[in-house]
Structure 1
Amino acid sequence: MEPKFLLYSRWGDQLGELSVLAATHRQEIDSTDQLDITVTQPLAKGDRVLWTDGRDWFEHVVDEESQSHDGGETFTAVCQSSLMVDLEAAHVSLWVANQVSAQEALSTILQQTTWDAAEVGDMGLQDLQFEIESAYEALCDIAGAFGAEFQPVLTMGEFGVETRRIRLVEHIGSDNGVRFEYGYSMNGVTKEILSDQVITACYGYGATLDSETDGVKDRVKVLVEDNEAKTYWGIPDGRGGVMHVYGVYENSDCEDSTTLRDETAADLAKRNRPSVSYTTDMPFASLRGVRLGDTVQVIDRDFTPELRIEARIGALDRDILSGETSSATFGTVTSVLPDVLARAYTVSKAASSAAQGVSAASIMAGFNGLYTEGGAYVCQTSTAGIITANVPLNQDGSPSITTGELFAMQVMGGRVRAATSVDSTGRWLWSDSVSPSAVTISGGVLTVSAGELYFNGKKVQTA
Structure 2
Amino acid sequence: MSGGWRCLRYGRDGRRLGTLRACGAAVHREELGGEDVLELTCLEAPGKYERLVWRDPEDGRWREHVVVRTDERAGGGCEVCCEGSLCDLLAGVVVDTRLSGATAAEAASAVLGGAGWESSAEGLPGVTGSCLIYHANRLAALRRVCEIWGAEPDPYVEVGPSGVTARGVVLRARVGAWRGARLTYGRSMAGCVRTVAEDEVFTALYGWGAGEAVMGEDGSWTGGYRKRIDFSSVNSGEKWVGDEEARLAWGIALPDGSRAHRFGQVVFDGVTDPEQLLELTQAALARGARRGSHTSSTRRRSLAACRSCSGTRWSWPTPSPRPRASRGCAWWRASGRSATGSSRAIRSAACRRGPTPP
TM-score band w.r.t. shorter chain: 0.5 to 0.7
Preserved contact between residue 310 and residue 335 of structure 2 (Cα < 8 Å): no
Give, in whole Å, the separation in 1 of the partners of 2:222 and 2:110: 28
Closer/same/farther in 2, CA of residues 97 and 360 from structure 1, 3 Å limit = same
Instruction: Give 2:158's aligned amino acid.
Output: T
Give, in whole Å, the separation in 2 of the partners of 1:161 and 1:24: 22
Closer/same/farther in 2, CA of residues 14 and 312 from structure 1, 3 Å limit = same
| Structure 1 match to 2:63 | 58
Give, in whole Å, the separation in 2 of the partners of 1:312 and 1:149: 19
C-alpha RMSD of matched pairs (Å): 3.1
- The CA deviation string for residues 326-359 of structure 1, in whole angstroms up to 9 with x for no partner, is xxxxxxxxxxxxxxxxxxxxxxxxxxxxxxx953
Preserved contact between residue 415 and residue 436 of structure 1 (Cα < 8 Å): no
Closer/same/farther in 2, CA of residues 69 and 146 from structure 1, 3 Å limit = same
SS at match of 2:39: strand
Which entry has the higher C-alpha Rg, 1 or 2?
1
How many positions carry a matched residue from both structures? 208
Following superposition, the deviation at residue 53 of structure 1 comes to: 2.3
| Structure 2 match to 1:126 | 129
| Structure 2 match to 1:143 | 146
Instruction: Give 1:7's aligned amino acid.
Output: R
Unaligned 5+ runs, structure 1: 175-294, 297-310, 323-356, 362-382, 387-410, 418-431, 439-460
Give, in whole Å, the separation in 2 of the partners of 1:320 and 1:118: 34
Closer/same/farther in 2, CA of residues 24 and 123 from structure 1, 3 Å limit = farther
Preserved contact between residue 26 and residue 34 of structure 1 (Cα < 8 Å): yes
Closer/same/farther in 2, CA of residues 123 and 61 from structure 1, 3 Å limit = farther
Following superposition, the deviation at residue 114 of structure 1 comes to: 2.8
| Structure 2 match to 1:158 | 161
Give, in whole Å, the separation in 2 of the partners of 1:436 and 1:34: 10
Give, in whole Å, the separation in 1 of the partners of 2:187 and 2:52: 14
Give, in whole Å, the separation in 1 of the partners of 2:153 and 2:100: 22
Instruction: Give 1:102's aligned amino acid.
Output: A
Closer/same/farther in 2, CA of residues 412 and 34 from structure 1, 3 Å limit = closer
| Structure 2 match to 1:433 | 340
RCO (CA 8 Å, sep 6+): is it higher in 1 or 2? 2
Following superposition, the deviation at residue 126 of structure 1 comes to: 0.7
| Structure 1 match to 2:40 | 37
| Structure 2 match to 1:89 | 91
Give, in whole Å, the separation in 2 of the partners of 1:79 and 1:321: 15
Which of 31, 49, 64 matches 1:46? 49
Correspondences of 1:371-450 after superposition (within 5 Å): 413-414=334-335, 416-417=337-338, 432-435=339-342
Instruction: Give 1:103's aligned amino acid.
Output: A
Unaligned 5+ runs, structure 2: 190-220, 226-307, 312-331, 346-355
Following superposition, the deviation at residue 167 of structure 1 comes to: 1.2
Preserved contact between residue 30 and residue 414 of structure 1 (Cα < 8 Å): no
Give, in whole Å, the separation in 2 of the partners of 1:60 and 1:94: 29
Give, in whole Å, the separation in 2 of the partners of 1:319 and 1:358: 56
Give, in whole Å, the separation in 1 of the partners of 2:47 and 2:83: 13
| Structure 1 match to 2:223 | 359
Give, in whole Å, the separation in 2 of the partners of 1:20 and 1:412: 28
Following superposition, the deviation at residue 414 of structure 1 comes to: 4.7
Closer/same/farther in 2, CA of residues 123 and 359 from structure 1, 3 Å limit = farther
Preserved contact between residue 31 and residue 414 of structure 1 (Cα < 8 Å): no
